[in-house]
Structure 1
Amino acid sequence: MFNTWEWIRICGFLAYFYFTVSVIFGLFRKTPSITKQKNLLFHLHLNAGWLGLLALALHVLLLLIDRYQPYRVIEILVPFTANYKPILSALGTLGLFIFLIVIMTSDLLISKMNRKLWKSIHFLVLPAWILIFLHGLFIGTDSANPIIEIFYILTGSIIIIASILRVYGSYMKTTAQALNKKG
């Protein structure tokens, strides 16, 4: 059916897809202009994050058993030590660690943290997403496929638009609150 290298690519692509969906719904959920369906957006955000983590775990495990381009544990856990494209592999490793920090602090440690610290850590998801975007785009063997190129362009564009809407919406909300206090 599929060999390990194909499964590695599929799982890596699925991890990217689910993390992208999670980031998009997370950004939209807190966008002030979206008032309805915040609970649905939260659950989509949360579940996509966990599905991304599951796909990522499979991606990493398959890298360890692949016969074509096997990775050693140290190459996966220590950035820039991989024999195969060390810088691009490191982007994936760093993205993995940041996503793990975000997911663990959000689901396991959130009750023990103050909100400001949690929020600062949670926004690390954007640099983590950029790292896995670059990792997938430049190390992915399917990146030359026009459909995959379009997918990366679309997902990158949606993340940029959602980020702008989030920042702009927060700015407008803060400005309106400040004007209400003065008036």
Structure 2
Amino acid sequence: MELVEENQKTPLTFLLLFTTGVVLASELLTRVLMSGQTSITNQFYWLLDRTAGITSYELLALSSILGVSMTSGLWDKHGLRKWAKQLHQYTTLLFVPFLGLHLFGLYQDTSVPFSLPSLLIPFHAPYHPLLTALGVLSFYGSLVLVFSSYLRKYISMKAWRTIHFLSFPLFLAVTVHGFFGGTDSKTLVGFLLYAIPFGLFVGFTMQRVMVMKGR
């Protein structure tokens, strides 16, 4: 994840406002209009959790694929490096609020209860403890990566690159968490939503390794 530039601050503000609006609208809908209808409320938050979770994964996948492919020289050949970098930054910013909505949906869905500690402390959740722990650790890892981009001018290049290598195990952990912990991966479309991005990421990573060995 490259340094987040000045022109990314407006989209970030919009995304934060959008996320806040979704949360407030959800609370209004479920507490006022659906008051007392527990099953419908749980289904609403279950759908929110699923859609936000898959969306955040696809955004993280696109950001990771763009990041690793830029180091292979792919975009330079076509004069598209600047475009790829901008898209890489935007998808990084988009990933964060959808991740927040994913956690919000999990917390509000009482059919599979998730307490706040179970969402924030690894191995604390009764539902798939290992897979949930991978999700929790990935959550913290993603925050470190995003904020390190904002703090890049204050830290050394070596430190930033070291932190940036977290993106490789992070993406692997998120893939395992979503594929084996979610319900959508059991369908063909859901399977492809995980398999295709992961395959592209592995392919570009191998290409990057070969480029580095050739230098």
Q: TM-score by structure 1 length?
A: 0.89
Deviation at 1:156, TM superposition (A): 1.3
- Name which of 93, 96, 105 aligns with 1:53: 96
**What residue is the counterpart of 2:154 in the other structure?**
112
**What residue is the counterpart of 1:103 in the other structure?**
146
Range 26-35 or range 127-136, more displaced: 26-35
Deviation at 1:47, TM superposition (A): 0.8
Residues 36-87 of structure 1 deviation map (CA, whole Å, 9 limit, x = unaligned)? 2111111111111111111101111121111211211110111000011111
**What residue is the counterpart of 2:64 in the other structure?**
23
Identity fraction in percent: 27
**What residue is the counterpart of 1:165 in the other structure?**
207
**What residue is the counterpart of 2:197 in the other structure?**
155
Unmatched tracts of structure 1, length 5 or more: 175-183
User: Structure 1's 169 and 33: CA in aligned 2 closer, same or farther, altered over 3 A?
Assistant: farther
**What residue is the counterpart of 2:26 in the other structure?**
none
Deviation at 1:33, TM superposition (A): 4.5
Q: Calculate the aligned-residue CA RMSD, in Å.
A: 1.4
Aligned positions of 1:7-156 closer than 5 A: 7-35=48-76, 36-107=79-150, 109-156=151-198
SS in 2 for 1:3: helix
* Separation in structure 1 between the aligned mates of residue 195 and residue 106 of structure 2, nearest angstrom: 26
User: How many residues are aligned here?
Assistant: 172
* Separation in structure 2 between the aligned mates of residue 78 and residue 153 of structure 1, nearest angstrom: 28
Spell out structure 1 runs of 4+ moving beyond 4 A. Answer: none
Deviation at 1:32, TM superposition (A): 2.8
Q: TM-score by structure 2 length?
A: 0.77
* Separation in structure 1 between the aligned mates of residue 108 and residue 194 of structure 2, nearest angstrom: 28
SS in 1 for 2:98: helix
**What residue is the counterpart of 1:179 in the other structure?**
none
Range 31-40 or range 65-74, more displaced: 31-40
User: Structure 1's 33 and 146: CA in aligned 2 closer, same or farther, altered over 3 A?
Assistant: closer
